[in-house]
Structures are given as structure tokens and as C-alpha cells.
A and B are shown apart, each in its own frame.
Chain A
Amino acid sequence: METLIILLAGFLFACGFFLILRRNITQVLIGVLFLSQAANLAILAVSGLGTGISAIVQNGAASPPSGHADPLPQALILTAIVIGFGVFSFAVVLLKKAFRDLGTDDTDHLNKADF
């Protein structure tokens, strides 16, 4: 299963890379989103998927049931999702502003500041 999920993540990475390589700012943004989904999926898969039992202690027990999923990558991914959301919402608004102020949605035209 891990192989398949990693392949799936890899596919999402490729899609994300392709989108972020577009000149269109909307597609760049969608690419950013794809990449963070891909990364989250990859982190989950690469540390092992387990059998689908959550890491929640059942009533009366002292620790989660055996064979539970590793909770730490989940916590990391949760943090990453939230951070990704924060970054994405800023990026969306920034690119929208870039379009309004600079009058173009083509990143190739955003090259006045470089040289």
C-alpha cells in the first residue's frame, strides 16, 4: 500500500511541479496547493501507514491499541496543513494584488525588479 500511496504522492508532486512552472499566476497558486498536499501524503506514507487504527487510547486502557498508526507524523502533518493554509492564503492575496497592481497574470512579465 505504501508504494501506491508514495506513487500517488509522486504523481501529485509532478502535477504540482508542472503547475508551478506555468506562467499563469492562478496555475502557480494551484500548483503550490498540490505540492503541499503531496508533501503531506508523502510524509504519512514514508513513515508507514499501519492498519488504519487511530492512536487514541480506548476507555480503560493505558495506551492506544496495538498496531495503531504512528501519531507523530500525523501531528507533524497537521501542523504542516495549518502552516500551509496560512502561507497559501497569503500567497493567494499577494498574487491577486500583483495582478491588480502590475496588470498582468503572466509571471514572465514580472521581471522589472531583477536587472
Chain B
Amino acid sequence: MEFFLIGLVAIGVGTVIWPYVAKTSAPWAGWLSAVAPAAIFLWLLTQAGPIAKGEIPSWSGQWVPQLNVALSFRLDGLGLLLSLLISGIGFLILIYGGAYLKGSPHAVPFFVYIQLFMLAMLGVASSGHLLVLFIFWELTSLASYLLIGLSHSELKARKAALRALFVTGAGGLALMAGILLLGLAGGSFDLHILQQNGDAVRNSPLYPAIFVLVIFGTFTKSAQVPFHFWLPDAMAAPTPVSAYLHSATMVKAGIFLLAKLFPVLGGTAVWHDTLTLTGAATMLLGAVLALAQTDLKRLLAYSTMSALGTLVMLLGIGTELAVTAAMLFLVVHALYKAPLFMIAGVVDKAAGTRDITQLDGLGCQMPFLAGAAALAAFSMSGIPPFIGFIGKELLYEAEINAGGYAVLVTCLGFAANAINVTVALKVGISPFRHRGRLREINPKARNLTLLIGPILLAVAGTIVGIFPAILGDGLIHAAVRDVTRHEPHVHLKLWHGFNWVLALSAVTVAVGVILYIFRDTVRALARVAVHCFPATASEMFDATLAAIIRLSASITRWIQHGNLRLYVAVVLVCLCGLVIAALASTPWTLAVPGSAVRLVPMGIALLIVVSGITAIQSHSTVMAVLAMGGVGLGVALLFAFFGAPDLALTQLLVEILTLVLCALVFRQLPAIRAISSASERNIDLILSAVAGAAVTIALLAVRSAPALDSGRVSADMAAKSLPEANGMNVVNVILVDFRALDTLGEIAVLAIAGMGVAALLLGSGRRDLRAELAIATPLFRTSVTWLTPLLLFMSVVLLFRGHNEPGGGFTGGLLAASALLLKRLAESDRPLHGNRTPLLLIAGGLSAAAISAVPALFFQKTFMSGFWLEGSVWLPFVGKTKFGTPFLFDVGVYFVVIGVCLLILTRLLRTEEPRKVRVA
């Protein structure tokens, strides 16, 4: 088994390095790539004997234990059969493809993808683990997508590739679900174990789901009705690809998996009915559609579809005879269909067309090709002594003994087989017959390498026809055994004596020949039949896809409409919904415990309410800004009243800055005007009232629940503040010590905001607002000369005493910033730009804050731990002060705040010319 796996790896390596190999050894590239498959083929032949005896080569290793995926390979009779086809035909295709695509820009991608495909197919054939099989399975779809799209300049090829990927991809996803359920029902993903647990799976309640999913996966892959349409379209691929993927190998993957899972899923009534009927329908439809074609490749494609239908039908019938017929037909079909495809490619190259009504007289010019074609066509027609004959005999036998459906399937089988004969004659004989219309032959087609594949395969078909035991005793026997899981009686022979089956065969050929003779009439009739359908399956697929895209466009346009306020409204609706859901699912009350109502905050609240109503009502920017200030002031006063002096101070200073900011910016915006209609306003009013109410009730409910006023972490903070953190102002200690990390983030936010504003405004605006504001009056200048040092001094005092009393780096910084800003306003003759000071302040402040975190590390303490100097210093206006790293941190905050405020406000002092609003 190792040999086989090394071969696989070699093919994989070949895939990766191919572009380089192709460059360096161009003429031999095709042959070089064929080495690995040839070696694998030969090795497989040596294994045929042991496998027939029941010695199964296997190998397994770990891969992804967390997901129960083991790299397990088992080559049973069925796997051997498929692997032989893949490696054998693959070997010939690589040689053929090298010659066929010589000088074509598609040559390199062809070799890359076809090797990838071969690897994937061999993986499918040899996997012993369903998920590994699935991985290879999907790889075949992918390789097929890339191969169908080889002629990617043509829209037709791209569309065909997408159809194939979409259909097989959908099937793949269903198969994945099916496999996962199979793993649940059968207790393992190991095929060997699953095959022994068939009864458990069939009796599982999951069986119907598994069946549907697996069947969908395999039917899409093997082009069963109604998923067949991608296969004829896939003929857009270059012929070597069609010959390999879409006749001999990939489409057989579905059949292979059905056979592989036959012991697990087969044997039930639903299996029997579904497979037999779908298979029969596909068989007939493929045959009828083939009659309507004139293109060689499409003819072959539809007859392939018919063959796939036959195979599925046989597996559905499920008797030992039927399985034997299926296994034999699998080989037979590959042996005639692959050479016919390759021949079609050569014909196309030689004559420049694939239209059978145009093709004529190639036989004299290319006798070897004609000979190979004739052999393959006879085999396809089921004429003795070719292997096709044996296949057909067995087929009829299986159909006649098909139980309940015997009559139906025999009749349909007869029709399909007769048409098959016609197709064989059209493809294998007609183009070579001499009718006197000789044409020029493209010399490129006279390449002997192109003939190797067709001739070898056609001859092989003849030899095994004459000596069927080569196949039957070993390969077919082993394959049938591994599908039915008991020793079969396989005995293939050419001559069964005169019986009904032989008579049926003879009539089939006769009818086929008659159909061929009246081919033009038959084609016309078939066309009429085809036109009875309103649309082809491909057209319906395209229409469905287009409909999905249209639907998705309209849904998306509905969700992603672009109106910001509606996006916000959605968030608010969700908020209301979630609050309601939460309140509906838990017990709650509205009994808010709390302190007594007092008058002063009621007054402040009134101020806030009035301001709020003004802000909503007003259509004047000035009023709105004033209302905003009113709210800010009111909140600051409430903070002060409720024992939060630091908050009050900060809020007040921030409010002032915000007002300045708004004053500077809003004057450049148009006045507020009523844009929304009255009804929109009303809806918004209701929504905001409901959302506001939801938030309010949520807050009240949280507050009403037995509040956890004890056991809060802040109790510890208050207790530790002075003894352990050397600060009397607990809020400040929290900010610079207990939760200094918050503050570090916070000053980073400030720094980003400041620099961000500067970045947004960079290079915009030349106008100096100071001149316009005419603020720098002599009185203003004089007062600023006095005020600036005073404010700066106060700010330093605030900074130093912050640890013990209200104040701190932030308020200090804001004050200092205002002082410096006033100075800038007064110095209206000094230019505003080109000043790096604010940036340096920000960088310095951040560094100070960051550095303050480090010293502790040198003393075996944690990051950001406070590190205090011994003793304390008495400072004027401040009092006794201890110095330590938290203080340094606060200094950092101080500088960042100054830097950011200066950066933002000095930038805003420069503006552009005012601009008129565009009214829509």
C-alpha cells in the first residue's frame, strides 16, 4: 500500500512543481507526468491477485484526531477496479493530452489540474474513511471546475464551469451532511466498520435523511436526472478533459460511492425504487437527447449520461446479477467511451469541426484512427466478440430478472441500447466513411502520440472480449464481492448459447442500425421531442441563479438602504425588544430604594428638562448649543450635589471645551432646518420615547432589585486608599492607581482623538479665525497677560493636590490648556501652523504614563505597581505631598490633556471659506 501512497504523493508533488517542470522539459512533459500513474497502474495489477483472494491492502495514520478524521486507505475489489481505470486511462490521457495541447496556452494549467484530479480520484477510490473520501470527492469537483474553465476567455466555458461547480458543489454539501449523519448513525466514519454496521444504519431514525442527502450528492456527481445538465455543458472543456473526467472517471465517482455504500444503505425499498426509477429515467433521457445531437462530443456526453443512468439503475435493482452487470459495465463503458472521446478530439483537430453532418471520409487519411474507432464503436454497440457484447448480455439478464420493475426496465433498457448502437455508428463509423467529400487535414492531427491511447484501449476492449475471464475471475469477482458482501458466482463468457437474451441483443443491433440509416428523420423527431420542454435544464438553472441574484439584490437594498437614521432606528428597536424580552422572562419590581427627594437637585433637573425640550424643539443652532450647555451644566451641578466634586469639575471644564468646539465648528455648518416630514418626526418621537422608556425601566428594575450596596469592590478601595495607595481622594486614587489601566487607555483615546482631528483637518483652511472674531482687543490682551500665568499656576496646584483633594491631572490639564489657548487667541499676529509642541506634549505625556508603570518591575513588583519615595514634602497651596509613580502617571495625563486640547483647538482656529448648503 505504501507504494500506492507514494505514487499519490508523487502526483501531488507533480501538481505543485508542474509549472517549472513544463518550462524546463517542455517536449517530454506529458511523458514525464505519466510515469507516476503508470507505476501505480502496474502496482495495482500486481495486487489484483491478492485482492481477489480477499487480502485487502490498507494503510492508516492519524490526521485530525479532534474531528475523528484518520488518514485511512483501503483498496478493496471495488476500489481496485476504479483505481485501475483511473491510473490506466489517466496514463493514456496524460500522453494524449501532452500531444493534443502542444503549444496551447492551456497546456500548463491542464497538467496541473489533471494531475490534481487524478490524485483526487485515486483518493476517492482508495479512502477507507468517509471524511477523507469526501475531501477527495470535493477536490474532484474543484479540479473539474478548473478544467472545464480551461478555455476561460470564452463566456461559455466560464458558465459551464460554474454550472458544474454549483451542481456538484451543492451535492457535495449535501453529501457532507449525509456523511456526518452516517457517522452518527453508524458510530464511525470508517467505511469498513460502517459496512458491517449496515443494519444499524438502516434501522436508524436518521436513515431517511442520510439516504436523501447521500443520494443527492451522488446523483449530482453522476449527472442523474434532473441534475444532468451540467455534464453536456462541461464539454466546453478541451477534449482530453472530457475524455477523462466526464466519461471515464469523475462521473463514475457517484456510482462508486453508491456501490461502496450499498452494504450500508442499500437493500431497502426506498433505495430500490429511487435508484431504479431515476436510473432508468436518466438512461432513457440521455439516449433520446443523444439522438438530437450533431456535435460529436455532445453525442458522447449524452450517451455517457445514459450509461450512468444504466449503472444507477443496476445498483437500484441490487441483485447479485445486477451488481455484476454494473461492475462489468463500469469497465466496459470506460473502455469504449474514453477512446471514442479521444478519437473525437483527433477528428476535431484534423477536420476543424465536430459536427457529424460535416464530417466525412477521414478513414482513408487516418486508417489507424478509423480502425480504433471501429473497434470501440463495435464494443459500444454490443457486437461479439467485443467486451461490450458481454456487458450487454449481462445487462439484459439483470433487467429481465429485476423483479417488480422487470418489464419497465427491460423495455427502457432496450430503447437505450438500440440508441447506443446508433450513437456508436455515428461517432465511430460515420466520420470515417468515404462519401467523396475529402477535405484538407490539419497536419497537427497526424501525431502518432495521439493514437496511442485510442488504439490501446480499443484493443484492450477486444482482448478482454475474447478472453473475458481476465476480467471476470479476478477484478469483477472481487468488486462484486465487496459490494454485495458475499461470495458471488461470476463467470463471464462470450457465448451463452441461443436464448432470449441473445435474441434481444440481435434485435437491439438491428434497431440501432435502422435508426442510424434514418438518422436525419430520427434527429428531427428527437428535436421536436426536446422542444416540447419549455426550457432546457441549463436554461432553468441559469434562470434560477439569476433569480437568486435578483432576490438577493432586492433584499440587500432593503436592508442596506444607506439611511443612517434608519440604521440607528433598527438598533433602538432591537434595544426595546431585548429589554422587553429580558423583563418578560424574569421577575422584577419597580420599588426603587434610595435617598430622600431634595429640592436643589429638583431645580437642576428642571433646568435639564427645559434644555432638553429646547434642544428637540429648536431649529436654531444657537439655541441648540445653548440647550446642550444647559444640560452639561445641569449634569455637572448634579454631580457636585451628589458628592462627586471631581466629576463636577471635569464635567464643567469638558463642557466648556465642548461648547468652544461646537461654536467653532457649527458656525461652518448650515443652520438646523426641518428636513424630515411631520409624520417622520412623530414616528421618531414615539420610537425615542419608547426606547427612552425601555432604558429607564431597565435602569429602575436594576436599581429596584435587592441592591448590592454591600460587598462592592469599592469598599476595599476606600479602605486601602490612604494606607496602601497614599491618597486621600479615593476617586483620584482609583484613576491613577487601582484602575490606572483604564486611565492609560483613556489618555490613549484622547491622544488619538487629538491627532485624528489634526489629521482630518491637515491642509484644509487658510483663514485665521482669530482675525475674523476680532477677539484680540487690547483689553483682552492685557487680561490674558495676567490670566495665563495665574491659570497655569492653578492648574499645577490642581495636579499636585489631586491625589488628596478634588483635582488631578485631567482637570489640571484642562485648565492649563485653556490658559494656553487664551494666549494663542491673544497672539493673533503669530501664525498658527507649524507648531510641534502639542504633539511633543502628547508623546511626552504618554511616555510619562507608560514609564511610571515600569519602575516597580525592577523591584519584583507587578506592572504599574505604585512605587513611592520615602517621606513627604510640604508644598505651598497643596500641603503635604508624597511622590511616587502614580503621581508621575498623573503628570502624564496632565500633559496629554494639554497637548490634545491645544492640538484640536488651534487646528480649528484655521478654517476654510464658508460654503453654502446644497438643498436637494
| Complex: A in contact with B (CB within 8 Å) | yes
Chain A residues in the interface with B (C-beta under 8 A): 1-30, 33-34, 37, 40-42, 44-46, 48-59, 61-64, 68-79, 81-83, 85-90, 92-97, 99-100, 103-115
Assess whether B685 is in contact with A69, with CB atoms less than 8 Å apart: no
**When chains A and B are docked, how far (Å) is the Cα of A87 from the Cα of B804?**
29
- Interface flag for B884 (CB, 8 Å): no
Instruction: Evaluate whether A22 and B562 lie within 8 angstroms (CB atoms) in the complex, with A6-B700, A10-B695, A93-B760 already known.
Output: no
28 cross-chain CB contacts under 8 A: A3-B592, A4-B601, A10-B695, A11-B609, A14-B692, A14-B693, A30-B628, A40-B635, A42-B695, A44-B647, A54-B643, A54-B645, A54-B731, A56-B728, A63-B718, A70-B712, A71-B718, A75-B739, A77-B644, A82-B749, A82-B810, A86-B900, A88-B658, A93-B908, A96-B668, A96-B669, A100-B912, A109-B920
- Residues of A contacting B810 with CB < 8 Å? 78, 82
Assess whether A64 is in contact with B718, with CB atoms less than 8 Å apart: yes
Closest Cβ–Cβ distance, residue A73 to chain B (whole Å): 8
Q: Given known contacts A44-B638, A82-B654, what 12 new A-B pairs fall within 8 Å (CB)?
A: A14-B693, A44-B639, A50-B643, A69-B644, A70-B714, A85-B750, A86-B749, A89-B661, A90-B756, A103-B917, A112-B562, A114-B561
Return the chain B residue nearest A14 by Cβ.
B692
Which residues from 552 to 605 on chain B have a C-beta closer than 8 Å to any C-beta of chain A? 556-557, 560-565, 568-569, 572, 592-598, 601-602, 605
Return the chain A residue nearest B750 by Cβ.
A86
- Residues of A contacting B920 with CB < 8 Å? 104, 106, 109
Query: Which one, B557, B900, B912, contacts A115 given CB within 8 A?
Result: B557
Return the chain A residue nearest B606 by Cβ.
A8
Instruction: Evaluate whether A51 and B643 lie within 8 angstroms (CB atoms) in the complex, with A87-B753, A110-B562, A111-B563 already known.
Output: yes
- Residues of B contacting A89 with CB < 8 Å? 658, 661, 753-754, 757, 904
- Residues of B contacting A56 with CB < 8 Å? 728-730, 804-806
- Interface flag for B612 (CB, 8 Å): yes
Query: Which one, A51, A76, A97, A111, contacts B595 given CB within 8 A?
Result: A51
**Which of B27-35, B301-309, B327-335, B719-727 contacts its partner?**
B719-727
Assess whether B608 is in contact with A8, with CB atoms less than 8 Å apart: yes
- Residues of A contacting B631 with CB < 8 Å? 12, 33-34, 37
Return the chain A residue nearest B556 by Cβ.
A115
**When chains A and B are docked, how far (Å) is the Cα of A108 from the Cα of B689?**
22
- Interface flag for B624 (CB, 8 Å): yes
Instruction: Evaluate whether A111 and B692 lie within 8 angstroms (CB atoms) in the complex, with A8-B605, A48-B709 already known.
Output: no
Interface centre among A25, A46, A55 (most CB of B within 10 A): A55
- Residues of B contacting A27 with CB < 8 Å? 624, 672
How many residue pairs link A and B with beta carbons under 8 A? The number is 326
- Interface flag for B373 (CB, 8 Å): no
Interface centre among A6, A54, A107 (most CB of B within 10 A): A54
Assess whether B601 is in contact with A5, with CB atoms less than 8 Å apart: yes
Number of B residues near A (Cβ < 8 Å) is 117
**When chains A and B are docked, how far (Å) is the Cα of A111 from the Cα of B561?**
7
Query: Which one, B628, B731, B757, contacts A55 given CB within 8 A?
Result: B731
**When chains A and B are docked, how far (Å) is the Cα of A73 from the Cα of B52?**
80
- Residues of B contacting A29 with CB < 8 Å? 662
Assess whether B608 is in contact with A1, with CB atoms less than 8 Å apart: no
Return the chain A residue nearest B734 by Cβ.
A75
- Residues of B contacting A75 with CB < 8 Å? 731, 734-735, 739, 742
Interface string of B700-720 (1 = CB under 8 A from A): 101100010100111001110
- Residues of B contacting A9 with CB < 8 Å? 695-696, 699
Instruction: Evaluate whether A4 and B644 lie within 8 angstroms (CB atoms) in the complex, with A63-B722, A81-B654 already known.
Output: no
- Residues of A contacting B613 with CB < 8 Å? 15
- Residues of B contacting A103 with CB < 8 Å? 915, 917-918
- Residues of B contacting A72 with CB < 8 Å? 712-714, 717, 734
Assess whether B692 is in contact with A17, with CB atoms less than 8 Å apart: yes
Query: Which one, A14, A20, A69, A88, contacts B568 given CB within 8 A?
Result: A20
- Interface flag for B365 (CB, 8 Å): no
- Residues of B contacting A93 with CB < 8 Å? 665, 756-757, 760-761, 904, 908
